[in-house]
Amino acid sequence: MSQQTSHKPLVKKIVLTLFFIFLLAPIYWLTVMSFKTDTEIVTGLTLWPQDFTFANYTTIFTTKSWWSSYINSAIYVSLNTIISLAVALPAAYAFSRYRFLGDKHLFFWLLTNRMTPPAVFVLPYFQFYSAFNLIDTHIAVAIAHCVFNVPLAVWILEGFLKGVPKSIDETAYIDGYSFPKFFATILVPLIRSGIGVTAFFCFMFSWVELILARTLTTSDAKPIVAVMTRVYSGAGIEWGLIAAAGVLTLIPGILVIWFVRNHIARGFAMGRV
């Protein structure tokens, strides 16, 4: 192993360093901008804020339309992750354990929903969710995001469940476990890492989505991504404020990665490899 890694260590280090600089440079710029005043941003290039200010962050934390939008996003993203996992688990179990009428077609059909561009759904969703009086509620966005997250969750979980030997099911039934008990106490703990990976992906794709979230909300459930577009289209662009809001959207993601980092490494390793 050591011979592998010490092959051309210097070249490797340079390549990695360059790539990480490329990844971090725009984020660095956004972060630095969030601590600058608007005049400093537009008047010249400064690598570090000359006039260091927290004003942009203060504005966000004291204006309700700003901070409540973060809470709105967090609510529908969590709801979506829970719903996606809850419906995808049994389905993934069925796909991994049984053959049934139309299973392959059903699986591909599910995947086609992951392929549908959200732009296609903008119009019908607005009318459809209006008809159910669901516009501007968190649950509406959570359910709408299921259209791409549920197929993805089924796809990933099915890979993990395939890795669990079938003899485990049979032994459990012989030992007198009922199906729900077997599912909750044996199977779910076994694919814990898989569930972690799936939750990460559901969270990620729901958190970053803009078009559907913007279409389905007007004020009470407006997510941060939509609030940012609104400020953006205003006449005078407040760059500092936008930068600060952008930096804050990174924080939930960092927290999620931190908590699931071990699951992700282990999960991918036992999953679809």
Residues 160-189 that bind other proteins (CB under 8 A): none
108 binds other proteins (CB under 8 A): yes
Alpha helices in 101-137 (DSSP H): 103-115, 118-131
Contact 85, 192 (CB under 8 A): no
Of the candidate residues 134, 225, 241, 244, the single one contacting other proteins (CB under 8 A): 225
Distance in angstroms (rounded) separating the CA atoms of residues 113 and 194: 22
Residue window 134-153: x/- pattern of binding to other proteins, with contact defined by CB under 8 A = ---------xx-xx--xx--
Cα radius of gyration rounded to whole Å, the chain: 23
Number of residues assigned to the chain: 273
Residue 55 or 231: the one with the smaller Cβ distance to other proteins is 231
The four Cα atoms 179, 182, 187, 192 give a dihedral, to 10 degrees, of 120
Using the CB atoms, write b or e for 109-138: b if 16+ within 10 Å. ebeeeeeeebeebeeebeeebeeeebbbbb
Stretch that binds other proteins, among 50-58, 62-70, 82-90, 167-175 (CB under 8 A): 82-90
74 binds other proteins (CB under 8 A): no
What part of residues 232-251 is at the interface with other proteins (CB under 8 A)? 232, 239, 242-243, 245-246, 249-250
Residue 115 or 176: the one with the smaller Cβ distance to other proteins is 115
Q: How far is the CB of 254 from other proteins (least distance, A)?
A: 7
Distance in angstroms (rounded) separating the CA atoms of residues 190 and 187: 5
Of the candidate residues 104, 117, 167, 189, the single one contacting other proteins (CB under 8 A): 117
Q: How far is the CB of 198 from other proteins (least distance, A)?
A: 12
What part of residues 38-67 is at the interface with other proteins (CB under 8 A)? 41-42, 45, 47
What part of residues 20-39 is at the interface with other proteins (CB under 8 A)? 20, 22-30, 33
- For CA atoms 217, 242, 203, 192, give the dihedral sign: negative
Give the residue from 59, 62, 76 showing the smallest Cα distance to 222: 76
Q: How far is the CB of 50 from other proteins (least distance, A)?
A: 14
Residue 121 or 136: the one with the smaller Cβ distance to other proteins is 121
Residue 54 or 108: the one with the smaller Cβ distance to other proteins is 108
